[in-house]
Amino acid sequence: MKNNDLVILLGKQFFKKTFFTRGLLVLLSLFWLVLVYVTVNGWNVFEARHDSVEHHQDASRESWESNPDKHPHRMAHFGSFAFRTQHPLSIFDSGLESYTGNSIFLEAHKQNTANFSEAALSTGLVRFGDLNIALLLQLILPLIIFFIGYASITSEKENGTLKIMYLQGASMKQILLGKAVGLLMVSALFFVPALIALWSIAFLENHQVNSEIIMRSLLITICYFLFFIVLCFITVIVSARSKSSNKALLSLLGGWLLFFIIIPKAGQVLGYYLNPNLSKIEFREAIETEVAKQGDSHNPDDPHFNKIRDSILKAHNVSSVKDLPFNYSGFLMSKGEEQTAKIYADQYNKLIKTYEKQNSITNSLVLINPYLAIKNLSMGLSGTDFYTYTNFLAQTEQYRYKQSQYMNKLQMKFISNKAKGSEGKIHVVDKTYWKNAPKFRYKYLSVSKTTDYQIISILALGIWLLLAIVVITNFSNYFKII
């Protein structure tokens, strides 16, 4: 019998033996019921949130455009809202969705933070994580695999059948690979329906095929398949190295607790301890302090902006701002906007770097922890990770700046320098210009960008797979048969 045929035969025998046990059928039924529930519930929640976001985004735009003739600077402070639409694959893996805000109020000279996160509006239970398809695959299914496969080799040792198989010509490598294949076949009964649920999201969302979502779904499928291959190999290796089934089970349960619970949580705590970030109040205070140092465009006696005024007067060869060919206040506001935007960007980049330093502890652990690798990949490809959220914040700030400068240009062009203020109905701009203001259109992070951010996790998953294959194929003779 060929080597591959023997491996497949051993895999089929393990599958049949395991499949017809009453415990597996009960466990499989419960898993499928929970899977159906989380899929349907996740779909309903996504649809409700998506409709709510679209409704409020349209309502915000309608409120903006329905303003009467008004001074542009007053319109700039009237502001608008930008809402973050969830990625359809957040149904599969909600990631950080519950902990990050989904709307930002945009106004001139001020950068606000995202608000209305689910965690802030819910009870403390949400902080334990959302029950979704990815959670079942990342935490629950590995535990099931360990329970199914812990005795895959040790039971053969204890029954004396492993020695008989060896004497009949089966090498230890073939036995290990056969058991791993069989365990993977049993595991497929659990993860294949979950991946079918993933693909149903990809094909049914918006009732059309989206190539970007299809690509993400394909990558997610490949990553999870590799992850479960690694888990099956590890389970069989631990079983082969253990002296008894009880010791194999304890080793696998201890590994699950260490790698899936303790290490991820410890990495987060250590990251925050070594790199504490500013609170919202401290962050706002740092910006205001820097603005006060560089100059306040709203202060008529500010030295910094007085120098700008003098240089503008000299460049146009006039003695008063009233003689300038454009509205000086609008020009001043545009310069002030440039300044505050730059200050905010600098402070924001420092804050993001702090968060990245915090995350770097956990990210570096993916090399020794395949769970963290698949978790990062799953969130990234589902559009629910840290980088996707910061990309949303960057897009909103670009839009806010563009909108504010649009208002400043209207003021420079249409408002007289003789205007004493923005009150009244004399110095105003026609309301048709509000409709011409740019609209906020949120764009998801591209697949290529996502894979660039998660390159370490991709490499880590590949290294774990290669390492498991090397151990089984090259060091199988070191495993004890008796």
Q: How confident is the model at residue 123 (pLDDT cuts 50, 70, 90)?
A: very low
Both tokens of 4, joined, read: 């591959």
Rounded to a whole number of angstroms, the distance between the first and last alpha carbons of the chain is 24
What single-letter amino acid sits at 204? L
> How far is it, in rounded angstroms, from Cα 222 to Cα 113?
36
Both tokens of 414, joined, read: 């249409």
pLDDT of residue 2: 61
Q: Check whether 121 has a pLDDT greater than 80.
A: no
Region 339-363 average pLDDT:
89
Return the minimum-mean-pLDDT range out of 23-37, 263-277, 447-461, 468-482.
468-482
Nearest of 189, 185, 86, 82 to residue 132 by alpha carbon: 86
Both tokens of 33, joined, read: 């019921």
Q: How does the average pLDDT of the chain come out, rounded?
A: 87
Q: How far are the Cα atoms of 251, 359, 437 from residue 133, in angstroms, in the given order?
A: 26, 24, 41
> Would you kindly state where each structural domain of the chain is located, as residue ranges?
3-478
> How far is it, in rounded angstroms, from Cα 41 to Cα 48?
11
pLDDT of residue 131: 86
Taking only the tens place, the pLDDT of each residue in 45-84 is 898 888 888 899 999 999 999 999 888 888 888 888 898 8
Q: Check whether 192 has a pLDDT greater than 80.
A: yes
Region 396-408 average pLDDT:
91
Q: Which residues make beta-bridge pairs with 80?
A: 106
pLDDT of residue 125: 44
Q: How far are the Cα atoms of 139, 253, 276, 345, 390 from residue 349, in angstroms, in the given order?
A: 34, 41, 15, 6, 10
Both tokens of 8, joined, read: 């497949």
Region 184-200 average pLDDT:
95
Region 210-231 average pLDDT:
94
Strands 80-83 and 103-107, by their bridges, are antiparallel
Q: Check whether 202 has a pLDDT greater than 60.
A: yes
Q: Check whether 428 has a pLDDT greater than 90.
A: no
pLDDT of residue 199: 93
Nearest of 153, 125, 130 to residue 37 by alpha carbon: 130
Contact 237, 149 (CB under 8 A): no
Q: Check whether 208 has a pLDDT greater than 90.
A: no
pLDDT of residue 126: 45
Percent of the chain whose pLDDT exceeds 70: 91
> How far is it, in rounded angstroms, from Cα 195 to Cα 199?
6
Residue 173 burial (CB count, 10 A): 17
Q: How confident is the model at residue 167 (pLDDT cuts 50, 70, 90)?
A: confident
